[in-house]
Amino acid sequence: MDYMLEAKKEADKNLTLNEGGPFGAVIVKNGQIVGRGHNKVLKNTDPTCHAEMEAIRDACQRLGTNDLTGSELYTSCYPCPMCLSASIWANIHKIYYGNTAEDAADIGFKDEKIYDFIKGNCKDKGMVELAQLNRDTTIETFAKFARKSDKQMY
């Protein structure tokens, strides 16, 4: 089976459904598609509903786990920082992508600006401001978690 073609089919859905951008993804484990997703940002009025996020959510629900070790992600475009991070958190160690982040920028998506922000090279000073506040209060919860004998890590 051509898994990238399946990711493209997911992306193609938004050429008619208009649920979000033209992005699609599938997650494969042991030669089987275990998760599918296409961008649903507009449908769900939720900026986190990218194709990769939808596919990760679908795979986790189907498999009953948050650990997708041994899975591969096929996505129609280079993952944005959010989707790349979610893939790492899900333990997906191989990602195949079709289009580049530059290709996405060419049709109006701002992934490149976010990567620039992460690198400290962002020229758009109005994008977001980060400010630490009340660490002395919030660190207490971390300390209590560290002492828990029954803690579970993601």
Active site members:
52
Judging by DSSP bridges, how do beta strands 24-29 and 32-38 pair with one another?
antiparallel
Select from 126, 111, 117 the least CA-distant residue to 50. Answer: 111
Work out the number of other CB atoms within 10 angstroms of the CB of residue 82. Answer: 15
Work out the number of other CB atoms within 10 angstroms of the CB of residue 132. Answer: 6
Rounded Cα–Cα distance for residues 34 and 66 (Å): 13
Rounded Cα–Cα distance for residues 59 and 81 (Å): 20
